Amino acid sequence: QFFLMRFGHHDVVIDPLALLDGVTVGGGKAGLWVEGLRMASRPWGVELPEPGTLEPGLTINRADGEVVSRFSIGTIFPIDIVAVDSIDTFWERYLPVLLLAAAVGVVLVAVWIYVVFRVSRRHLSLGAELREAVRQDRLFVVYQPIVDLATARIVGAEVLVRWRREGGNVVNPDVFIPVAESEGILCDVTQRVLDKAMQELGGTIRRDPEFRININVTREDLEHGELPDRLARTVAAAGLPPGSVNVEITERSLVASSEASSVIQRIRRQGHAVSVDDFGTGYSNLAYLQRFELDSLKIDKTFVDTIGSGAANADLVTRIIEMAHSLELETVAEGIEHLEQVKWLLAHGVSRGQGFLFGRPMDVGSFKKTLARSKSA
């Protein structure tokens, strides 16, 4: 029997049996309906349930020991295929595939559990190792020059913490600072940084009272409440005036800490200048700047990069500088890499800056040599 149809100017002849391949049907039974009319079956004339009596998909008829499936296609003419097979034949045909799929699933779950376990264990072991490194004073610091843009002379340095593990590899702060936070030892890390800076540059500061170092503090330092006292004790023990150490706080830490305002007031009363770091990457509005007592504002590198680029957000640098000037804050530009940026910043009233143009973060020996060259220039 053939199925005849006309489609536009074409006459079409279809052999329905060609749609019921014997290999697919196997030892079971199958039938094909077009628009509700039964067109073909294998074996021919076999008794099959009507498609309208079945739900789409697979149905198990335990009473007759059969697996019944209905598959429908909503083409120009609706087509339904019904296949019936014995449960025993179904398991014989598909059980190996199902067992293989189950085995693969078990392996994938086992691999997932193993990966989660290793990552968790690595994180825990990294935390324990970091805690031990802090306890044994194995953290070290590097210094990035801060310069007077008008003279290109070094007037200070930002102190940055680093961690070299026992194997010799240096861990990125983006990795170990969150670990330190989760371990509850961020305040200890800050204290180690302050101690190192006093040991390594204390003599430099005593010889040059105008020289300043900048220490980064975190939200945890602000919340802990002991930061002002720690600063006072450490700086006094080094025989230095409080004004030789500036404090940098990210704007996210300022807004996130409920204690920030009172702690900043205490720090400033002790004689330390306070700077908001990475300005432009967070809240960046006049209201919160007015709420805190600040001395300077550091413009983030992402905005300095737009200077002279013609980018859509290039005018944001101008607005940030105007905002700082309206609050009588000193401005420091981060991430300076080109002389054209220096010229633009000077023309817009930015007095100080740092970046690869003046020097990358370096150890204390290299920094002292760079500082000596700057003074003799």
Instruction: State how beta strands 57-61 and 66-74 pair.
Output: antiparallel
- Among residues 225, 272, 283, 221, the alpha carbon closest in space to that of 246 is found at 272
Beta bridge partners of 157: 145, 213
CA dihedral of residues 49, 54, 58, 64 (deg, nearest 10): -50
130 contacts: CB under 8 Å, gap ≥ 6: 163, 176, 179, 180, 183, 185
210 contacts: CB under 8 Å, gap ≥ 6: 155
Instruction: State how beta strands 245-250 and 212-217 pair.
Output: parallel
pLDDT at 92 over 80: no
**Amino acid identity, residue 340?**
E
pLDDT at res. 120: 56
For the chain, the average pLDDT equals 85
Q: How far is it, in rounded angstroms, from Cα 293 to Cα 311? A: 32
**Amino acid identity, residue 210?**
E
Q: Beta-strand (E) ranges in the chain?
A: 3-7, 10-14, 29-34, 37-42, 57-61, 66-74, 78-86, 139-148, 153-164, 170-171, 212-217, 245-250, 274-279, 296-299, 330-333, 352-353
The tokens describing 279, both together, are 């300005």
What does the pLDDT look like over 111-166, one tens digit per residue? 888 887 666 555 557 888 888 888 888 899 999 999 999 999 999 999 999 998 87
- Strand, helix or coil for residue 55: coil
- Give the model's confidence band at 23: pLDDT under 50 very low, under 70 low, under 90 confident, else very high: very low
Q: How far is CA 136 from CA 72, 132, 177, 181, 217, in A?
A: 72, 6, 17, 18, 21
pLDDT at res. 369: 95
Q: How far is it, in rounded angstroms, from Cα 147 to Cα 359? A: 10
Query: What sign does the dihedral 45-50-51-56 (CA atoms) show?
Result: negative
Least confident of 226-230, 289-293, 317-321, 366-370: 289-293
Query: What are the residue ranges of helices labelled H in 32-156?
Result: 87-135
Query: What sign does the dihedral 337-343-349-351 (CA atoms) show?
Result: positive
What does the pLDDT look like over 246-282, one tens digit per residue? 999 987 777 666 678 888 999 999 999 999 887 766 5
What does the pLDDT look like over 62-83, one tens digit per residue? 777 788 888 888 877 788 888 8
pLDDT at res. 21: 62
What does the pLDDT look like over 151-185, one tens digit per residue? 999 999 999 999 988 777 888 888 888 889 888 89
pLDDT average, residue stretch 216-232: 89
- Give the model's confidence band at 206: pLDDT under 50 very low, under 70 low, under 90 confident, else very high: very high
41 contacts: CB under 8 Å, gap ≥ 6: 20, 29, 30, 31, 32, 48
Q: How far is it, in rounded angstroms, from Cα 135 to Cα 10? A: 86
Q: How far is it, in rounded angstroms, from Cα 352 to Cα 49? A: 86
pTM above 0.75, yes or no: no
Q: How far is it, in rounded angstroms, from Cα 343 to Cα 152? A: 12
Q: How far is it, in rounded angstroms, from Cα 279 to Cα 289? A: 10
Q: How would DSSP label each residue in 202-258?
A: HHHHHH-TT-EEEEEE-HHHHHHS-HHHHHHHHHHHTT--GGGEEEEEEHHHHHH-T
Q: How far is it, in rounded angstroms, from Cα 79 to Cα 39? A: 10
What does the pLDDT look like over 309-342, one tens digit per residue? 776 666 888 888 998 898 899 999 999 999 999 9
Q: Is the peptide bond before 51 cis (omega within 30 degrees of 0)?
A: no
Q: How would DSSP label each residue in 100-123?
A: HHHHHHHHHHHHHHHHHHHHHHHH
